[in-house]
Structure 1
Amino acid sequence: MKITTLFGIIVTSLVLVACNSSGKGELKYYGFHDTDPNTGDTIYHQIRDFSFVDQDSQEITNAYFNDKIYIADFFFTSCPTICPKVKAQMLRIYEKYQDDDRVALLSHTIDVKRDTVGKLKKYAKGLGADSPQWRFVTGDRDSIYAISYDYISTVLEAPEVPGGFDHSGWVLLIDKDRHLRAYADGTKEEKVDVFLKQIDQLLEEYDKPEAVQ
C-alpha cells in the first residue's frame, strides 16, 4: 500500500474519532480514545512517554515540555522533497513564538543512521534555530517510528523514492497534557496560516480563568 493511501486512511480514522472538548468552539482532541469503564468519561489519546537525544547531546523527554504546548514534525536533513517546505513553515512558527516561553518545537529525524547529533546541530544552526525552544532529536529507530503513529505521521523507509524515505509533511499541535489538538499540511502556507490561528486559540484556552463551580 502506498504511504499516501495509508495516510489518508489514518487521517480519516482520526477525524472520525476526534472529539469536541467541553467548551463550545474549542479545539478538538484527535486520536483513538478510550472510555473510563467506571465513570463513562472519555480518556483522550496521548503522546506516549519518550526519550530522545537533541542537537546539543541532551536527553529530551516529555518532561522537557511540561507546562508548554509544542509543535512536532518528522523530517530528515537530506530530504530532497517536502522537508524544506515543511521546515520553512516550522521556521515561521518558531519566529512568531520565539519570545513566548509557553511554546516549543520538536522535530524528529527519521534517518537515524545519517542524522547524527553533529549533523542535527549544523542543520538547526543553518535554519537559525539557535534557542532551546526548538529541539531536533534523534534516537532509537524503532522508538521514533513507533511514536510517529501517535502524531498521525507514519513514516516508512522507501528506497524507491527520492531520499529513501516516504513520510507525511504534517505539523502537529500538542497541548500541555500530551493531547493532539490540531494538525496541518506543512507544505502549504495557507494551511499553516490556519494552524497558526489554532496555536493562538489553544494558548487562549489556557489563559481563560477557571469556571466558577
Structure 2
Amino acid sequence: MSSKAKGLLIFFAVLSVAFLGYAGYVIKGERGTFLGVEKLPVIGAPGHTVPGFSFTDQEGNTRTQADVKGKTYVAEYFFTTCTGICPKMNANMEKIYAEYKDNPNFLILSHTVDPEHDSVPVLKEYAAKHGANSKNWWFLTGNKVDLYRLARQGYLVDDGTPSGDEDFVHTQWFALVDKTGQIRGLYEGTKDKDVYKLIADIDRLMKE
C-alpha cells in the first residue's frame, strides 16, 4: 500500500473517531435536556409557606397541617350553593382527582367560604356528588375568619382585605402546594388549559 493510501486511511479513521465523539456529545446533551425536569417556581415572598390550620372535613375528622406534611396537594375555595364559578371549578377538580386518587402522596383540600351553611352533613353530600373519598379529597369547614385568612395569607388565592360581616372570598384560583408547604403554582380553576397545565405541573413536582 502506498504512503498516500495509508495517509488517507489514517485521515478517515481520525475523522470517523471525531464524528462518533461529536455524535455521542450531541446525543448525551439531548438526552439530558429530555430527561431533565425543570423545577417549578416558588410563589410568594422568600421563605413563604402555608401556615398551620385546623378544620373539619366531610366526615367530621379534624384536619391539620400535620396531615398534609410530606404530601403534594391542591387547595381551592368554593361554597356548595354557588351557581357561578364553583360548579366549573369542581368539575375540573374531578379531572385532577381522577389522575391522582390512587397516589397516597397527593391530596385535594376544598375549603368552603360559607361555613354557616356548609356544615359537615352538607359537605358530605356535596363530596359524594363529586365521587370524593375523604381519605384524599377533603371538603373543609371551620371558623370563617381562619378560612379567609388562610386563603389570603396562606394560599395567596385572594388579594382582598377583611371587611367585617360583609367579607366574602370568591376566587377561581387553585394553589399547588409541595411537600414542604411552599406554593409552586396558581391556576384558574375555570379554565381547561390551566387545569391541564396543573396536572402536568403536579407530575413535574412529584419528580423533584
Contact 1:156 1:166 in 2 (8 A): no
1:122-144 CA-partner distances (Å, limit 9, x unpaired): 00001111241000100011000
Structure 1 consecutive aligned stretches of length 4 or more whose deviation exceeds 3 Å: 155-158
Give the structure 1 partner of residue 118 of structure 2: 115
What secondary structure does 1:30 align onto? Answer: coil
Partner of 1:9: none
1:56 alignment partner in structure 2:
59
- Counterpart of 2:28 in structure 1 is none
Corresponding position of 2:182: 179
Whose strand fraction is larger, Structure 1's or Structure 2's? 1
1:30 and 2:43 correspond: yes
> CA, structure 1 residues 124+157, in 2 after alignment: closer, same or farther (shift >3 Å)?
farther
Distance 2:162 2:58 in 1: 23
2:83 corresponds to which residue? 80
Q: CA deviation at 1:192?
A: 0.8
Larger proportion of helix = 2
Number of aligned positions between the proteins? 168
**Please, which runs of 5 or more residues in structure 2 have no aligned partner?**
1-35
**Identity of paired residues, percent?**
38
Query: TM-score w.r.t. structure 2 length?
Result: 0.76
Give me the CA root mean square deviation: 2.0
Q: For residues 94 and 195 of structure 1, what CA distance do their matches in structure 2 show?
A: 12
Question: Which segments of 5 or more consecutive residues in structure 1 lack a partner in the other structure?
Answer: 1-22, 34-43, 159-163, 206-213
Say if 2:193 is the partner of 1:190: yes
Q: Which has the higher contact order (CA 8 A, sep 6+)?
A: 2
